[in-house]
Amino acid sequence: MWWNVFASKACMFLRALGSVMVLIVLSLIGLTYYTTVVLVYGPLASNAEPESSEGRFATGVLVVYHVLILMVLWSYFACVLTEPGRVPDGWTPPPEDEEEAGAHKSNSEKLRRFCRKCTAWKPERCHHCSVCGRCVLKMDHHCVWVANCVGAYNYKFFLLFLVYTFCLLYTSDAADDTPCVDLGGRRII
């Protein structure tokens, strides 16, 4: 079928793009680190009076920011490097009851499912990833940002990465009550 040709080309493109996307994510993290630590809060903490509230606030933000950046990097690399869940070799489903075998069920409701691409049996909540070219346990999606499937074993790390990234961005923007551009008294945000 003609659409399978385009789908397979897209999967090959996503597979090749994986390492580049990891570098893009690390570059974005590095950029936020540079702007937050080097450009904004570092000079604010070092140039302020030691006992001023502004200096203590900037130091507090820097401490929280560094803890969060370590947690973001840990959860990101854990998500990228952790195997999402592979069907064990030689796995076979339990035999079906005679009553259930006769009932008309959709393919997703059947206990015994077979993957034609892997030529192997699939457990419940297992799906074939066309980008990775294998069946993944409890597959959620293939994420190009982590160059991996999000599945049974790395789902926790993926969610932690999202939560820590949100907290990190909130922390880096903690005291941004000043306008980005001030044009003659007009605040442009």
Q: Find the helix or strand (DSSP H, E) in which 172 lies.
A: helix 155-172
Which residues on adjacent β-strands are paired with residue 126? 137
Active site amino acids:
143
Q: How far is CA 33 from CA 29, 77, 142, 179, in A?
A: 6, 17, 27, 21
